[in-house]
């Protein structure tokens, strides 16, 4: 299956798969990163997928492959239980407006609400307790997990995965201060989510003030992310957990954001930019690796971190000099 070279007993029986640290006798694991060498030497696994150039002497059987991680993944699939599937049809407890258009093999689970004017493509699954608002369109082969809220006129492409607790199309956070109080600005736009997007649990994507908040093809968004009104996220970008993207920000293609990144409104993030975890973006940034608060190019951020770490020693030296000078 893996196409690898076995160094060990071909009759060895493998009963499961686990990580280096968690594997027990009879299980298989993998090793691909030298940083995990100590774990490899301690592992109790019966067999290990290792790189082609691996030369260490270990007690476990070795299977030398070009990509240990990928080979291990194939084995895990063999041991994993089959995927959960849902039969097509509408559960009796679901409420589906007569004007809704459902494609072939659509599955509507218990207590779903489908409002007027909704269209849902072939083979899409709408999980229990989900709400789909008026005039929303959802493409084919989507998986909408339980308790998702999709507000009116949202547009969702095909093969989109939306995890539990996601809210799509809530009003953007728009107010103006009039006569000594905050007055709500109507949020009249929509959310558009293109094909092959995945959105993690409890993420929120606000509708646009006008126009659209747009998540483009292939974007992957982690849990607990806030995407504000009129944000555009470019194709194949990745956004990690607890990131907040303020209104009208433009994120390029193939951008990667670490966890807890914060981005102010009305800025542009260039294609292929990498933003380190907990960074704060306060201006347009033009590619490369950025880190810190405020975010800066990584070499500059490393210099500043090094300077800060040396401040204690510097203060001690200054005090010693002042003491010698009688100051």
Q: Report pLDDT digits (tens) over 292-315.
A: 989 998 888 888 888 888 888 888
CATH superfamily of 5-79: MurE/MurF, N-terminal domain (3.40.1390.10)
Question: Which pLDDT band, with edges at 50, 70 and 90, does 320 fall under?
Answer: confident
* pLDDT score recorded for residue 2: 64
Beta bridge partners of 257: 239, 275
Is-above-0.95 flag for pTM?
no
| pLDDT value at residue 302 | 86
8 Å CB contact between 124 and 138: yes
Q: Is residue 123 within 8 Å of residue 103, measured between CB atoms? A: yes
Q: Over 80: is that where the pLDDT of 174 sits?
A: yes
Neighbours of 1 (CB within 10 A): 8
> Residue range 115-142: average pLDDT?
98
- pLDDT tens digit sequence for 206-261: 999 999 999 999 999 999 999 999 999 999 999 999 999 999 999 999 999 999 99
pLDDT at 1 over 90: no
What CA–CA distance (Å, rounded) separates 232 from 222?
16
- Residues with catalytic annotation? 229
- The single residue listed with the structure tokens 């774990």 is 39
Please report the pLDDT score of residue 316 as a whole number.
Answer: 86
Helices (H), the chain: 37-42, 68-79, 298-325
Q: Where are the domains of the chain?
A: 5-79, 89-298
Architecture, CATH, for domain 89-298: 3 Solenoid (2.160)
């Amino acid at each position: 299956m893996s196409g690898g070279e076995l160094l060990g007993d071909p009759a060895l029986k493998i009963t499961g798969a686990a990580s280096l640290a968690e594997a027990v006798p009879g299980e298989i694991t993998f090793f691909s990163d030298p940083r995990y060498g100590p774990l490899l030497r301690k592992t109790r696994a019966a067999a290990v997928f290792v790189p082609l150039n691996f030369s260490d002497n270990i007690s476990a059987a070795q299977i030398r492959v070009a990509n240990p991680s990928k080979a291990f993944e194939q084995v895990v699939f063999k041991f994993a239980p089959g995927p959960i599937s849902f039969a097509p049809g509408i559960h009796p407890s679901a409420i589906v407006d007569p004007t809704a258009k459902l494609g072939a093999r659509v599955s509507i689970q218990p207590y779903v609400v489908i409002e007027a004017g909704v269209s849902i493509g072939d083979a899409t699954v709408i999980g229990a307790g989900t709400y789909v608002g008026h005039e929303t369109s959802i493409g084919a082969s989507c998986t909408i997990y339980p308790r998702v809220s999709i507000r009116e006129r949202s547009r969702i492409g095909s093969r989109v995965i939306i995890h539990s607790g996601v809210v799509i199309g809530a009003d953007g956070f728009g107010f103006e201060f009039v006569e000594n109080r905050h007055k709500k600005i109507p949020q009249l736009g929509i959310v558009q989510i293109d094909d092959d997007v995945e959105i993690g649990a409890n993420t929120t994507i606000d509708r646009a003030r006008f126009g659209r908040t747009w998540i483009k093809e292939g974007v992957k968004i982690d849990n607990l992310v806030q995407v504000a009104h009129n944000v555009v996220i470019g194709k194949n970008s990745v956004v990690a957990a607890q990131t907040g993207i303020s209104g009208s920000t433009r994120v390029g293609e193939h951008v990667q954001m670490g966890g807890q990144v914060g981005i102010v409104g009305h800025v542009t993030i260039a294609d292929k930019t990498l933003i380190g975890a907990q960074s704060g973006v306060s201006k347009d940034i033009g590619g490369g690796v950025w880190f810190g608060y405020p975010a800066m190019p990584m070499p500059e951020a490393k210099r500043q971190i090094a300077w800060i770490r040396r401040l204690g020693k510097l203060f001690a030296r200054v005090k010693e000099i002042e003491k010698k000078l009688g100051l």
